[in-house]
Amino acid sequence: MSTTSILDRDRVRELFDLRGSYGAAHGGGYEGDPYPVWHRLREQGPVHAGVVHELTGYEGPALFQGLPHPDRPHFSAFSYAACDTAYRNGEVFASSIEPVDPNNGELSVSNSLLTMGGLQHRRSRALVQPSFIPGKAQWWIRNWIEETVDQLIDGFADAGRAELNVDFCAAIPVLTITGSFGVSVEQALEIRAALSRPDDIVEILRPIVAARREKPEDDLISVLAQAELKGEDGKTTRLTDAEIYSFSVLLLTAGSGTTWKQMGIVLTALLQRPEVLDAVREDRELLRPAIEEALRWMPTDPMFSRYVTQDVDFHGVHMPAGSVLHLCVAAANRDPDRWRDPDEFDITRPLTPTFAFGGGVHVCLGMHVARAEMRVGINRLLDRLPNLRLDPEGETPRFIGMYERGATEIPVLFG
């Protein structure tokens, strides 16, 4: 049975709309352009007291990592240099305020690899890192990405039109990551809907974990089920079920919740610049710099947070221990001290490292998989949909969202 015959399009739209109930909590109601404000703030100083959305002037709900913590002082960094300093010093700018132990406490992203530090983080990340290195990209492409992309395009290739955010971008990452966990297509949207209810995800994964412990397959859940963690005493032990579920919730949340937005940003940027899209269509080597430029120009996650572990003077601002520092990486990615004409979407600019996937030891584990999904997906669209262009009768795509940014509907014509 094909992917497109199983996915409920209305359900996909509900789960992957930044203006819906899930996205609204993270500032999905913000529809302005934050960059002029962020430029002004950075010109006034690299670091400011306050949180990013309030400093931007957005008064709606905007929860994210490091928020709300009303009892702690909050600061926000807007320059590349300030964000770089914080990412390089994980002892002073920690990813968690409390010890992390997936075997104790609630099952959540905040009690997982994402917030571990020091030796615990290095040991745990080393278990799954080999599955996410650039050399493993073909494993992901061959096993899950190509088939998903082709089946999705099959669903609208004969129609002459499509809405790419729902019909295409939204489904690729969620089907890729759930496929790597041995989850059926029928259950993929159940996983997405249950991200705020981790116990429900466990019920889906429990029989799969048990089966992979007995008989490993060529998938990511088998890597976790067979992995061995070396303790401080030098002895190795298998991951507990709780540790596997902790990894799983993190990877499923990150894998299904970010790349679809970033792919929509790349496609919108190209479709709104037909001459650039034509150049990429003619020379596919330009797709890589186009993706990297979109990652710099508009990362889908514009902010990450760190907890200040000791009193520190930081880029001209004193921050007491216990403060929260919000790193506005989207503003840092348009710092004119690092990029010429930073507001311009220019795929010819020299490739320079950005903070699109964060930085430091917690740089995004799945960034190479995300790049592979975008590269394969956009290449296939250009291969199979001649004269791909925005639908002039459809609503022009807009970029919305505060702490999760992405495009609205992307209506296209082709043929």
What is the domain range of residue 111? 3-413
pLDDT of residue 24: 83
Res. 3: pLDDT tops 70: no
Long-range contacts (CB closer than 8 Å, 24 or more residues apart) made by 385-393: 385/153, 385/157, 385/412, 385/414, 385/415, 386/414, 386/415, 387/413, 387/414, 387/415, 388/271, 388/277, 388/412, 388/413, 388/414, 389/271, 389/274, 389/413, 389/414, 390/271, 390/272, 391/161
Q: What is the DSSP string of 231-270?
A: -TTS-EEEPPHHHHHHHHHHHHHHHHHSHHHHHHHHHHHH
List the one residue out of 181, 173, 192, 354 whose CA is nearest residue 258: 173
Res. 74: pLDDT tops 50: yes
pLDDT of residue 2: 52
- Helical H segments across 17-170, by residue range: 21-24, 35-44, 52-56, 80-88, 118-128, 137-140, 146-154, 164
pLDDT of residue 236: 81
pLDDT of residue 191: 86
In this predicted model, what pLDDT tens digit does every residue of 298-347 receive, in sequence order? 999 999 999 999 999 999 999 999 999 999 999 999 999 999 999 999 99
Rounded to whole angstroms, the Cα distance separating 240 from 227 reads 10
Mean pLDDT of 3-16: 71
Total count of domains within the chain: 1
What DSSP element (H or E) covers 307?
A: strand 304-308
- Identify whether the C-beta of residue 119 lies closer than 8 Å to the C-beta of residue 125: no
pLDDT of residue 1: 41
Give this prediction's pTM.
0.92
Res. 69: pLDDT tops 60: yes
pLDDT of residue 342: 98
Q: How confident is the model at residue 6 (pLDDT cuts 50, 70, 90)?
A: low
For 287, other C-beta atoms within 10 Å of its C-beta total: 19
Res. 365: pLDDT tops 90: no
For 39, other C-beta atoms within 10 Å of its C-beta total: 17
Rounded to whole angstroms, the Cα distance separating 56 from 53 reads 5
Mean pLDDT of 33-49: 98
Domain harbouring 403, CATH code? 1.10.630.10
